[in-house]
C-alpha cells in the first residue's frame, strides 16, 4: 500500500526531517510506501487535519497551535513558561511523559486520531519591527499567532494585539505591515526568511514549539499487529533522530541569520526583563482551566508532575 503523510513544513525543516526518517524506516521494514506531502502541496494546517479525519491522508503532523479548537486541552503548550528551554530535559519529557503518551492519546482518539508522537522543535523567539525589552513594548503591536485561542490570550496578557493567521499569510502580512511581529523557533526564522521582514529577534524563554504526528484512527486500527509495530518503531526511530538532529541547530541557524542580515538585533531578555512575561503566565493558566475544565486541570497537573519527574 501507499500511505499519504502530510506535514506543515518543507522537507528540509524539522517536521520534514522527522517525516523523511519515518518514511525510510517504514519502507525498510515493510512493503508499504510512504508518500510525503510537505507544506504548500495540500493546503494550510486546517486543511490537512480535515483530510486526515476524512481518511484521505493516513498520517499528518499538525502542531497544537492549530489543534486548539478540535482538542482544547492541547492548548496547554501555550501556558507561558510551562515547558523548559533545556533540550535534554524536553527530550526526556516527550519520551516519558504520561500526559503526552497516555492522556493526550485518549483525547486525540476521541477525534478519530491515533496520536503517534509529540516532539519539540525549539525555543520560540519573537521577531518584530521594533525592539522588545518588556511587555510595554508590545503595546499596539499586531502580533501574529497561530489560530489557537489560548495563544491569543497569552499575547493579550503580554500586552500585544494578537492576530491569529494561518502560516501562509505571515510573510506577506509582515511585509505590508498588517502585522508587526510573530513568534517561531530559530531554525524556522532562517529557513522561511522571516528575518527579511523583521529587524529584532527577542528570546523571552516563554515557549517551546511543539508538534504532533498522528494517524487516521480507523486506518491505524485496521492495520495488522505487524504493521502497527512497523509504524510504532518508525515513530520512535524518527523521534530519536530528530532529538539528535536538533542539537545545536538553533545556534547554527541564528549564525546564518546574522550573516544574511548583519543589522539584525538579537536580544536574550534578562530575568528582570522577563518578569512581566512571567507574571502573565498565571492569568493564562487560569484561562486554560476556564476553557478546559476538570479535564484540562488534570492534564496540567500531570504535565507538571511529568516535567518534575524528568528533570
Residues at the interface with ligand 6CS (CB under 6 A):
8-9, 45, 63, 121, 146, 167, 184-185, 188, 209
* Cα separation, 126 vs 297, whole angstroms: 28
Cell numbers given for 52: 486526515
Q: How far is the CB of 253 from ligand 6CS (least distance, A)?
A: 12
In contact, 5 and 21? CB cutoff 8 Å: no
Of all residues in the shown chain, the one whose CB is closest to ligand 6CS is: 167
Which CB, 15 or 302, lies closer to ligand 6CS?
15
**Regarding beta strands 33-37 and 200-203, do their DSSP bridges make them parallel or antiparallel, or are they unpaired?**
unpaired
Name the 3-class secondary structure at 1.
coil
Q: How far is the CB of 284 from ligand 6CS (least distance, A)?
A: 19
Q: Is the dihedral of CA 175, 181, 183, 187 positive or negative?
A: positive
Q: How far is the CB of 14 from ligand 6CS (least distance, A)?
A: 7
Which CB, 40 or 282, lies closer to ligand 6CS?
40
Which CB, 163 or 184, lies closer to ligand 6CS?
184
Q: How far is the CB of 126 from ligand 6CS (least distance, A)?
A: 12
Q: How far is the CB of 209 from ligand 6CS (least distance, A)?
A: 5
* Cα separation, 54 vs 112, whole angstroms: 9
Which CB, 196 or 227, lies closer to ligand 6CS?
196
Q: How far is the CB of 200 from ligand 6CS (least distance, A)?
A: 18
Q: How far is the CB of 31 from ligand 6CS (least distance, A)?
A: 31
Crossing angle for the helix pair 87-96 and 225-245, to the nearest 10 degrees: 170
* Cα separation, 136 vs 290, whole angstroms: 26
Which CB, 128 or 184, lies closer to ligand 6CS?
184
**Helical spans, DSSP H, in the chain:** 14-29, 45-53, 87-96, 98, 104-109, 149-157, 170-175, 186-191, 217-221, 225-245, 249-260, 271-309
Crossing angle for the helix pair 225-245 and 14-29, to the nearest 10 degrees: 140
Cell numbers given for 200: 529584532
Which CB, 81 or 209, lies closer to ligand 6CS?
209
Which CB, 185 or 205, lies closer to ligand 6CS?
185
In contact, 90 and 120? CB cutoff 8 Å: yes
Amino acid at each position: 500500500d501507499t500511505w499519504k503523510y502530510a506535514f506543515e513544513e518543507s522537507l528540509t525543516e524539522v517536521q520534514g526531517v522527522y517525516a523523511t526518517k519515518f518514511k525510510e524506516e517504514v519502507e525498510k521494514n515493510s512493503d508499504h510506501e510512504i508518500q510525503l506531502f510537505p507544506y504548500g502541496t495540500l493546503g494550510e494546517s486546517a486543511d490537512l487535519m480535515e483530510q486526515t479525519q476524512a481518511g484521505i491522508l493516513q498520517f499528518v503532523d499538525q502542531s497544537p497551535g492549530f489543534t486548539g479548537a478540535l482538542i482544547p486541552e492541547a492548548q496547554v503548550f501555550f501556558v507561558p513558561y510551562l515547558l523548559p528551554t533545556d533540550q535534554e530535559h524536553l527530550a526526556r519529557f516527550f519520551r516519558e511523559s504520561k500526559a503526552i503518551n497516555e492522556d493526550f492519546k485518549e483525547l486525540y482518539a476521541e477525534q478519530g486520531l491515533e496520536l503517534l508522537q509529540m516532539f519539540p522543535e525549539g525555543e520560540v523567539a519573537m521577531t518584530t519591527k521594533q525592539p522588545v525589552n518588556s511587555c510595554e513594548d508590545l503595546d499596539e503591536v499586531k502580533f501574529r499567532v497561530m489560530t489557537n485561542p489560548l495563544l491569543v490570550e497569552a499575547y493579550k496578557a503580554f500586552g500585544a494585539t494578537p492576530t491569529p493567521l494561518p502560516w501562509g499569510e505571515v510573510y506577506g502580512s509582515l511585509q505590508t505591515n498588517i502585522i508587526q511581529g510573530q513568534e517561531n523557533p530559530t531554525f524556522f526564522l532562517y529557513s522561511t526568511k522571516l528575518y527579511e521582514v523583521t529587524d529584532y529577534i527577542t528570546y523571552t524563554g516563554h515557549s517551546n514549539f511543539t508538534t504532533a504526528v498522528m494517524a487516521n484512527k480507523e486506518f491505524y486500527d485496521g492495520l495488522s499487529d505487524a504493521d502497527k509495530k512497523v509504524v510504532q518503531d518508525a515513530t520512535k526511530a524518527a523521534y530519536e533522530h530528530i532529538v539528535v538532529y536538533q542539537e545545536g541547530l538553533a545556534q547554527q541557524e541564528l549564525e546564518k541569520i546574522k550573516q544574511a542580515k548583519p543589522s539584525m538585533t538579537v536580544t536574550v531578555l534578562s530575568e528582570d526583563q522577563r518578569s512581566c512575561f512571567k507574571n502573565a503566565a498565571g492569568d493564562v493558566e487560569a484561562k486554560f482551566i476556564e476553557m478546559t475544565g476538570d479535564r484540562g486541570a488534570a492534564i496540567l497537573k500531570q504535565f507538571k508532575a511529568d516535567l518534575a519527574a524528568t528533570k
